[in-house]
Amino acid sequence: MKTLSQAQSKTSSQQFSFTGNSSANVIIGNQKLTINDVARVARNGTLVSLTNNTDILQGIQASCDYINNAVESGEPIYGVTSGFGGMANVAISREQASELQTNLVWFLKTGAGNKLPLADVRAAMLLRANSHMRGASGIRLELIKRMEIFLNAGVTPYVYEFGSIGASGDLVPLSYITGSLIGLDPSFKVDFNGKEMDAPTALRQLNLSPLTLLPKEGLAMMNGTSVMTGIAANCVYDTQILTAIAMGVHALDIQALNGTNQSFHPFIHNSKPHPGQLWAADQMISLLANSQLVRDELDGKHDYRDHELIQDRYSLRCLPQYLGPIVDGISQIAKQIEIEINSVTDNPLIDVDNQASYHGGNFLGQYVGMGMDHLRYYIGLLAKHLDVQIALLASPEFSNGLPPSLLGNRERKVNMGLKGLQICGNSIMPLLTFYGNSIADRFPTHAEQFNQNINSQGYTSATLARRSVDIFQNYVAIALMFGVQAVDLRTYKKTGHYDARACLSPATERLYSAVRHVVGQKPTSDRPYIWNDNEQGLDEHIARISADIAAGGVIVQAVQDILPCLH
């Protein structure tokens, strides 16, 4: 399979490369998928395979047979022999049952705004296929197979950022996926390995013919939470990575501020044993181990230091207590999203064993909506904490002797250090806290003839989370730059040279070296990361670091010891 390039969209700055890695296929239908599985397929192009489990395949066919029999007998079933939503009182004849499904695609083709990132659409296709493999939706294996083919061939429908209220699932976004899968019309566009193409042409290149939807199939494809959940899964995955990097940044900052490790002593946190708090304290002990820049006070002793405070300020000392509930919250969101990933979310659902169908509401994306509201709130809190640390580093009154704005060459009087970088960070942090406002509680009660009279706004919450994650990625890049410059300057104050590798803990040295590698500046003993203002454009460094994080590069690899605990 050719390498795929993530099409740039105005909704996301991230680019991803899909290489069709077949060494460890993700099997759809045999077992529950994880957020990591979703990321592997959506981001890395890991190939997927539908299970060949006979019982599962027979269940899929049995659900189709149930629908066919219901149509033939005229049994009243919502969206099969009736109209949709507030027009469900309209009876649909057997002769119109298939046309009803195709018309559903057409009247829902109303998306607006920018295109979603391809990785999020790939995640949505994976989850839609996974849902249908449960055999409760009345959809042919052939149509499910199309999603497998699209994923493995790098064919991704264009889906738009506006159109779903998260009530009856993601009707409008999923109409674009459905129309593309069946090759309904050239107006449905796809990305085919980086090339824009109309859906019928893409099918021909895949040696596939257009499909006509059978009864229930359009509704089964479009009535579900797969797009919002796919976006949410990717956002949770990204946030876990950014949280791990943020932990590394805090460890750099504590060393740069000549902080103590005493605040992370197990005795303190066993006395208030919230899981996230215990985890954060334990991680910080590990991250700071064998550092020459921290005050080693795990023995319980306290050190007076030339008019400095006997204990660290709250942003250092209370780090586990502050980050703990955030870590716990992200963990809870991840659990809820994984349940949604492995759920059947269309309506009606078919109980093959009891030959019954049930009208329900699994399509309501309330868990996703509230989860993504909370995720954005947590991202704002993470940014707020980093912002406080940056302020300490930049202010000589609070930095325990570091130069103002972390100046490098103080002999060059026009140098202003990282003053501009801090201002850029200051412009981002309030936006992230603003994005932390909820949207799940803001819904129109009059939607679709008052049928969808309670909505989750899960899709909008998820797309806002995508925006929040992308912005936070840039903020983390800025925080890393501050941390690297600060430990260089602290090293000079301690040793008379600037190469922080000699003094950092082994865990943070890996992160420090990764950042220096990404920005193209090898550490030296005669100057810190930033020496003179006019020797580099820091905007380029922000972009390089952010791109490396997005690609899962060396910076992400440097925090691999933290990531398994978060995942």
Residues annotated in a binding site? 223, 311, 317, 347, 419, 448, 451
Calculate the alpha carbon distances from 517 to 115, 490, 520, 553, 556 in Å: 33, 20, 5, 11, 13
| 202 neighbors 180 (Cβ within 8 angstroms) | yes
| Amino acid found at 566 | L
The binding site for (E)-cinnamate consists of 223, 311, 317, 347, 419, 448, 451
Task: Find tokens 């899709």 and name the residue.
Answer: 459
The encoded tokens of residue 452 equal 């969808």
The encoded tokens of residue 296 equal 């080693």
Q: What distance in Å separates the CA atoms of residue 257 and residue 317, rounded to the nearest whole number?
A: 12
Q: Where are the alpha helices (DSSP H) in 395-537?
A: 419-435, 447-450, 458-495, 506-518
DSSP per-residue string spanning 293-328: SSB--TTS----BTTB-SS--HHHHTHHHHHHHHHH
Q: What distance in Å separates the CA atoms of residue 399 and residue 397, rounded to the nearest whole number?
A: 6
| 32 neighbors 18 (Cβ within 8 angstroms) | no
| 284 neighbors 264 (Cβ within 8 angstroms) | yes
Concerning whether 160 is annotated as a catalytic residue, the answer is: no
Print the SS3 string covering 48-110: EEECCCHHHHHHHHHHHHHHHHHHHHCCCCCCCCECCHHHCCCECCHHHHHHHHHHHHHHCCC
Q: Which of 161, 174, 193 is nearest to 131 (CA)?
A: 174
Neighbouring C-beta atoms of residue 473, cutoff 10 Å: 22
User: CA dihedral defined by 327, 328, 331, 337, rounded to 10 degrees?
Assistant: -120
Catalytic residue among 66, 78, 160, 378: 78
Print the SS3 string covering 194-242: CEEEEHHHHHHHCCCCCCCCCCCHHHHHHCCCHHHHHHHHHHHHHHHHH
Q: Which are the catalytic amino acids?
A: 78
